[in-house]
Amino acid sequence: MNNLSRIKQVSLMVGDIATLYIALTLTLWLRYGDLFYANLINTHIDPFTILFMAWIVVFYIAGLYDLKFLKNGLEFEKAYWYALVANIVTAALFFYLIPYFGITPKTNLLIFFFIFGGINYFWRQIYNFILLKTGAANRVLMVGSNKTAQEAVEHIQNNPQLGYQISYWMKEGLEDKEFNHLAQIILSHNINTVVIPAHLKKDSRSAKLIYKILVLGIEVTELSRLYEIIFHKIPLAELEEVWFLENLVNKHKVYELVNGPMEIIAALILGILLFPLGILIAILIKLTSPGPVIFKQTRIGKNEREFTIYKFRTMSVDAEKDGPQWANYQQDERATWIGKILRRSHLDELPQLWNILKGELSFVGPRPERPEFVVKLRKELPYYDLRHLTKPGISGWAQINYRYAASAEDAYQKLQYDIYYLKNNSPLLDFLIIIKTIKFLITNNT
């Protein structure tokens, strides 16, 4: 099921790349009338290829390759045109700040902007329309009904471009009067995917019925897997301990062994480059409020080890005189005026480069929590301690997909994203998280 989503995303990206080069060709032809005049193709193809790579990254940051976002409507329109404007600004800066290529195509960029905008917008509208109208490739028979199943069904019905259609729903599960007629229902509704709760596999009668339908070429998947694919998080309510043994044990050791030295080098380089900015922030904090520049706090890291995390101080020194409490990053009255700016820009996190150099943090991983809250949350949330299987991070999958945690319910939702990251972490996923983090730094959507 997930392979189809990747095919859709790759085909969309290929279409975007094609329209980029078509637009460049038309621009040069309209401007000069001869593509080979003064070696035009050779002088433009290399710099524009580099630029196009950056444009694709901007489109990704804007969410324009996220299938749930690919619906023609106001939300898509805003994201598309904002991304296009950001790309033309990127292009202008690229050519005027990097004179290496010897061209400053001001007029060409303007012409290219309108040609590409028109062609690509038309391509995108057609693609979105096709996703909605060609029908679902995955025609689903859903077995059982609970909060997780209802959430999945509602999301699928509201987002047909994901490629799923709930063709039949046996809400009563094993007790459904039609359960004994699975094969007939599958054939009559042209179903190719059966989604079952995990516990059905333990029932001998249901297991035999499901086994029989395999000869029909039907894909049988667990509800937790479908939920993971469409929401990019793990439904904790559907899992048992065996799932974690199959998916998480010893998964991170090799990756962390390779990733660790690279992160230390990156943190060292960033620390040197951003040192002047850090000095300026320190001076502003010292001038605007009494107290230390650096805020230190105990957090829980990998293997439940305590460590001290460093931040630029954003609150008054007596902010927690009544004890630890959830922080509301959007409306926290305890924050100083410069602290609010640092929080919204996330510049208060800069000192955590030192934590990376010490091997206590990664750039990407579950956000480390305070001991007081860990004690509370491990009692309330199932499998909470699994977050400590890997090093925590400055940013993470939960941070870019969910708002700041201000309650146990928020922590539960973020935990589902954290477990997804633990199951699927890889250099590519880390890179995509870092790219998406840039979007949040720019738009302040955390």
Domain boundary among 196, 231, 266: 231
Sign (positive or negative) of CA dihedral 133, 135, 137, 141: positive
Among 5-14, 122-131, 167-176, 401-410, name the one with the lowest average pLDDT.
401-410
- List the CATH number of the domain containing 224: 3.40.50.10700
Model pLDDT for residues 9-57, shown as the tens digit of each residue: 889 999 999 999 999 888 888 887 765 554 666 677 888 888 899 999 8
Flag whether 274 is in a domain.
yes
Q: What are phi and psi of 26, to 5 degrees?
A: -65, -35
The strand order across the sheet containing 138-143 reads 164-170, 138-143, 193-196, 219-222
pLDDT at res. 101: 58
pLDDT band at 283 (very low <50, low <70, confident <90, very high): very high
- Find the mean pLDDT for residues 304-323: 82
Better pLDDT: 283 or 176? 283
Listed residues 80, 102, 133: the one ending a domain:
133
If asked whether residues 424 and 313 sit together in one domain, one would say yes
In a domain, 247, yes or no: no
Confidence check: pLDDT of 170 > 50: yes
pLDDT tens for 179-210 read 878 888 888 988 989 999 888 877 777 778 78
Average pLDDT over residues 332-358: 87
pLDDT score recorded for residue 393: 94
Domain membership of residue 241 (yes or no) is no
Is 117 in the same domain as 166? no
Whether residue 371 sits in one domain with residue 266: yes
- Report how many domains make up the chain: 3
Burial class (CB in 10 A: 0-12, 13-18, 19+), 12: buried
Question: Could you write out the DSSP letters of every residue in 38-93?
Answer: GGHHHHHHHHHHHHHHHHHHHHHHTTTT-GGG-SSSHHHHHHHHHHHHHHHHHHHH
pLDDT of residue 437: 85
pLDDT at site 445 = 43
Whether residue 313 sits in one domain with residue 257: yes
Residue 46 lies in a domain: yes
Between 253-288 and 427-443, two packed helices, what is the crossing angle to 10 degrees? 20
240 within domain boundaries: no
Rounded mean pLDDT of 383-407?
87
Task: Decide: 365 and 390 in contact? Cβ < 8 Å.
Answer: yes
- pLDDT score of 329 more than 60: no
pLDDT reading at 330 higher than 60? no
237 assigned to some structural domain: no
Same domain, 75 and 181: no
Same domain, 279 and 394: yes
Instruction: Tell whether 393 is covered by a domain.
Output: yes
Residues 278 and 297 in one domain: yes
Secondary element (H or E) of residue 196: strand 193-196
Q: Is the pLDDT of residue 99 over 70?
A: no
Same domain, 313 and 413: yes
Distance of CA 424 to the CA centre of its chain: 12
User: Are 83 and 143 within one domain?
Assistant: no
Domain boundary among 103, 133, 163: 133
- Residue 274 and residue 304 in one domain: yes
Question: Are 272 and 414 contained in the same domain?
Answer: yes
Query: What does pLDDT average to over the chain?
Result: 84
Residue 350 · residue 276 · CB < 8 Å: no
Instruction: Note the pLDDT of residue 311.
Output: 94
Instruction: Write down the pLDDT at residue 403.
Output: 75
pLDDT at 350: 94
Band (pLDDT 50/70/90 cuts) for residue 175 is: confident
- Indicate if 314 and 355 belong to the same structural domain: yes
- Which pLDDT value is given to residue 446? 39
245 occurs within a structural domain: no
Alpha-carbon gap, residue 87 to 52, rounded angstroms: 9
Domain of residue 196: give its range.
Answer: 138-231
- Residue 418: per-residue pLDDT: 94
- Highest mean pLDDT pick, 30-34, 290-294, 316-320: 290-294
